[in-house]
Structure 1
């Protein structure tokens, strides 16, 4: 009997890295479920995918969208959580509650909302993979990035905790932390930067695809720094 086509959910799928991951996994034959704020863009880019406009910070909306995907495709083999948010500009002694709440919601709570919707389904089917995209910059505090680095650090602790909680269940949980990604946006904002150490979207997508699929079946509870 042939193995079922893997079904992979990607958040932030309209962004540069999300698109690269979706293209990489689609080329391998996966069925894709794509979440982003702009479903129209996703439908144009990936007409064969199940695409939805979803607020990843809204637990109810995430749960409903995941349930629709399960009803449509019958299973969920991997979650690749690319979506998040970045802000800078406020010092800690001037940090607004709005900025704090926004960064925590986008980068940390979103992971909780997705885990609630996806992990039980993976456990029921006997296994699956969760891959979260963090950031190398979250390894330590950085000036004017307090809320962002704190939120990404919280995401990493949540990943580690979920990995411990899923041990033995067949659900693997890992994360990647790119340094600077070589994207059009980063090139535009840092035109004079030395790009020799930047991480290409293709290589980042390859690493994520490895963790999300059976190729990385032996990897669990790992945090891979890219670049």
Structure 2
């Protein structure tokens, strides 16, 4: 996928900090953006100004029918979907494995893995019909291995990584690239509130992760399909500001 104008990118978790940064990054390339989030009010608060090249859709990504309707609406308006950024997800820190409640396990898998699966089930057939596409998932660099009291989250992000690798092998002959960016700590207002005493100098701004995702949507990146890319720290350009 080149950086030409008029590509259509679907971004899940569109109302969040990373979703908004990714929207801005793809807007700069001239892409049309389909922003999906379960929270309709938050979605409209994040994008209060209307735009002919941006579509806001409220959908439950754990419900296959809801996702299929959202993608059908996007295709009806813009004609295609070339890029899918699976950003929707959730985090949990709490109990050890033997004490963690089953509903926590289900929620982490739903938010991080099922949302991804639902989105690709709806989008991949559209990409296959067009003969090309890019899927970019979001993993977690620090959870390439398990950590105490975060097992449900680690397992869910582990599923995202393995799904990325599996889809890359399955879709390579279709010219559909599948990638996973793996942030450590994202520099968001919420994380700063949750960790007020932390050293934020090595945290990664959402805008830097978004720029990396734009790079992975280029045609030249297809040769790296299946890659799990750690994204951490602050780009030099931001450090000097």
TM-score, normalisation: structure 2: 0.89
2-structure distance, mates of 1:28, 1:5: 9
SS of residue paired to 2:62: coil
Q: In the alignment, which of 57, 63, 69 is matched to residue 58 of structure 1?
A: 63
Report what 2:134 is aligned to. Answer: 129
Q: In the alignment, which of 93, 97, 100 is matched to residue 98 of structure 2?
A: 93
SS of residue paired to 1:173: strand
1:39-118 map, 5 Å? 39-44=40-45, 45=47, 47-48=50-51, 49-118=54-123
SS of residue paired to 2:56: strand
Report what 2:235 is aligned to. Answer: none
After TM superposition, give the deviation of residue 201 of structure 1 in Å: 1.4
Offset from partner CA, 1:70-92 (integer Å, 9 cap, x none): 11111101000011011111211
After TM superposition, give the deviation of residue 188 of structure 1 in Å: 1.0
Structure 2 gap segments, 5+ residues each: 233-241
8 Å CA contact retained: 2:164, 2:179: yes
Kindly tell me the number of residue pairs found equivalent between the two proteins: 225
RMSD: 1.5
Report what 2:238 is aligned to. Answer: none
8 Å CA contact retained: 2:175, 2:222: no
After TM superposition, give the deviation of residue 60 of structure 1 in Å: 1.3
After TM superposition, give the deviation of residue 55 of structure 1 in Å: 1.1
After TM superposition, give the deviation of residue 219 of structure 1 in Å: 3.0
SS of residue paired to 2:173: coil
2-structure distance, mates of 1:90, 1:59: 30
Report what 1:31 is aligned to. Answer: 32
2-structure distance, mates of 1:134, 1:116: 19
TM-score, normalisation: structure 1: 0.94
1-structure distance, mates of 2:67, 2:16: 18
Structure 1 gap segments, 5+ residues each: none
8 Å CA contact retained: 1:78, 1:213: no
1:111-190 map, 5 Å? 111-190=116-195
Segment drifting more, 43-52 vs 212-221: 212-221
